[in-house]
């Protein structure tokens, strides 16, 4: 396949939004809301677009890990083919005026199986296209803990020596002798919104928390209450508030595309201004509880940094106390969304079965409410004695997990669920 043409503000690009496994359909839905038709692939969503679509995807997507531009796709079973095609790619259009260049390589089931040798050839092609001396380095090709390749990119601790200025990451994948080379446009992974400076034990990644909220069907803008009775540092309530208020998750951070020679500052400023003007202020009833005082303190500070402190009520309470506190909520459908502990990541506990049973028992009296939990353990989930079904399966910290959702509790049965989840390990 011929390499992509050199980009300009009017060019169209082949773009890919990697996600954690199982979140592809949710990310596709987010793109659809932006007016972009995406094509779901294993590990993400592909779409065609212009510069503005690259900017908007970085700014708005809540469940994508990063946004990359596919520079070229071609057959390469020899180093000669790799070098010949690599030299034709528009490297200079993605190189910052200062800073380093990093190449991450993955080779699978291909004649070119030595990732370091592949990286050496690609780095040579980049050096030949550069108009300045740049620091070139090879990054680890190990997959991200949640399945997305290249998670430890620039800004995530990859590389060795630190060069002044931004680091541009290029991702090379060779599978069955088909080579694909992409340029990262995000920099730090997109789950790094900028608000979570304080965390509790085994924090839930922001992208997965957002996926839980979006997959649940919760409609905060219409006044539906939401409670996370084991909220830790507040990620689920904060993501819910950001969604309900239409606050773009990337408003508080910078992106790698700002360092490209093709960066259009005027276009970007217009997109940001439009995003700021779309923020709404509905009356929300979002609550977070946790028995850990330090976790609640972190949650309050994180919510303030996210600009949603006034939208969430955090309190130091036990699980049963948090659920009892929603007695004051007006009748109607509410949601309990939470990521309860499920084993090793926060220390094994023989009390976990009792915790899940307490959650299920307390919910039995909350008619009209629904439950969504993220867990890796079907046995623990079964202790709730509430009928729940999987909405999505993904990974949390490298652990297979499922997001399980109940029926309205006034009609829920008592049979134990048998969701497709992993072993009895996990985190909160």
Higher pLDDT residue, 417 or 262? Answer: 262
The pTM (predicted TM-score) of the whole model is: 0.88
Write down the pLDDT at residue 276: 98
Average pLDDT over residues 246-258: 97
**Domain spans in the chain, listed from the N-terminal domain onward:** 13-184, 206-245+280-406
Write down the pLDDT at residue 201: 76
What does residue 372 show for φ and ψ, rounded to 5 degrees? -135, 125
Could you tell me if 48 and 59 are in contact, meaning their C-beta atoms sit under 8 angstroms apart?
no
CB atoms within 10 A of CB 10: 7
State whether residue 156 is helix, strand or coil: coil
Write down the pLDDT at residue 332: 65
DSSP letters of 58-111? Answer: HHH-SSBS--EEEEEEEE-SSHHHHHHHHTTS-GGGG--SSS-EEEEEEEESSS
Average pLDDT over residues 251-263: 96
Residue 82 pLDDT grade (very low, low, confident, very high; cuts 50, 70, 90) = very high
State whether residue 49 is helix, strand or coil: strand
Could you tell me if 87 and 122 are in contact, meaning their C-beta atoms sit under 8 angstroms apart?
no
* Of 389, 385, 402, nearest in space to 340 by CA: 402
pLDDT per residue over 228-240, tens digit each? 999 999 999 999 9
What is the pLDDT of the chain when averaged over all its residues? Answer: 86
Write down the pLDDT at residue 221: 79
Q: Is the pLDDT of residue 419 over 60?
A: no
**Beta strands 168-175 and 101-108, pairing class:** parallel
pLDDT per residue over 85-120, tens digit each? 999 999 999 999 888 999 999 999 999 999 999 999
CATH of 13-184, one of 3.30.360.10, 3.30.2130.30, 2.60.40.10, 3.30.930.10: 3.30.2130.30
* Of 235, 260, 259, nearest in space to 249 by CA: 235
Which pair of tokens denotes residue 253? 């951070």
Superfamily of domain covering 206-245+280-406: Vaccinia Virus protein VP39 (3.40.50.150)
Higher pLDDT residue, 412 or 87? Answer: 87
State whether residue 337 is helix, strand or coil: strand
Write down the pLDDT at residue 401: 94
Residue 141 pLDDT grade (very low, low, confident, very high; cuts 50, 70, 90) = low
The rounded distance, in Å, linking the Cα atoms of 26 and 138 is 32
């Amino acid at each position: 396949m011929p390499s992509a043409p050199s980009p300009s503000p009017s060019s169209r690009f082949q773009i890919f939004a990697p996600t954690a496994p199982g979140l592809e359909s949710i990310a596709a839905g987010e793109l659809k809301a932006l007016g972009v038709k995406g094509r779901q692939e294993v590990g993400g969503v592909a779409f065609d677009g212009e510069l503005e679509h690259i900017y908007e995807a970085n700014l708005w997507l809540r469940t994508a890990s990063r946004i990359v531009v596919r520079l070229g796709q071609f057959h390469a079973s020899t180093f000669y083919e790799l070098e010949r095609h690599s030299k034709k790619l528009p490297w200079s259009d993605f190189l910052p005026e200062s800073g380093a260049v990093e190449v991450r390589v993955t080779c699978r089931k291909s004649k070119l199986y030595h990732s370091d040798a592949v990286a050496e050839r690609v780095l040579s092609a980049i050096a030949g296209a550069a108009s300045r001396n740049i620091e070139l380095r090879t990054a680890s090709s190990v997959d991200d803990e949640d399945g997305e390749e290249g998670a430890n990119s620039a800004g995530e601790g990859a590389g060795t020596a630190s060069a002044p200025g931004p680091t541009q990451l290029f991702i090379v994948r060779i599978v069955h002798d088909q080579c694909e080379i992409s340029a990262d446009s995000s920099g730090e992974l997109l789950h790094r919104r900028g608000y979570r400076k304080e965390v509790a034990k085994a924090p839930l990644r922001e992208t997965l928390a957002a996926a839980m909220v979006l997959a649940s069907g919760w409609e905060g803008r219409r006044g539906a209450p939401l409670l996370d009775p084991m909220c830790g540092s507040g990620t689920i309530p904060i993501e819910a508030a950001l969604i309900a208020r239409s606050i773009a998750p990337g408003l508080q951070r910078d992106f790698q595309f700002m360092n490209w020679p093709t960066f259009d500052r005027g276009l970007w400023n217009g997109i940001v201004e439009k995003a700021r003007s779309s923020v709404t202020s509905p009356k929300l009833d979002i609550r977070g509880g946790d028995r850990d005082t330090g976790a609640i303190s972190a949650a309050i500070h994180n919510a303030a940094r996210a600009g949603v402190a006034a939208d969430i009520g955090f309190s130091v309470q036990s699980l049963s106390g948090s659920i009892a506190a929603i007695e004051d909520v007006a009748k109607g459908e509410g949601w309990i969304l939470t990521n309860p502990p499920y084993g090793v990541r926060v220390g094994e506990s023989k009390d976990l079965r009792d915790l899940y049973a307490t959650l299920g028992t307390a919910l039995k009296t909350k008619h009209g409410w629904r439950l969504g939990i993220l867990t890796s353990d079907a046995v623990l989930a079964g202790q709730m004695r509430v009928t729940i079904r999987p909405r999505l399966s993904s990974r949390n910290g490298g652990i297979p997990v499922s997001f399980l959702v109940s029926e309205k509790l006034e009609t829920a049965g008592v049979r134990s669920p048998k969701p497709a989840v992993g072993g009895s390990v996990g985190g909160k």
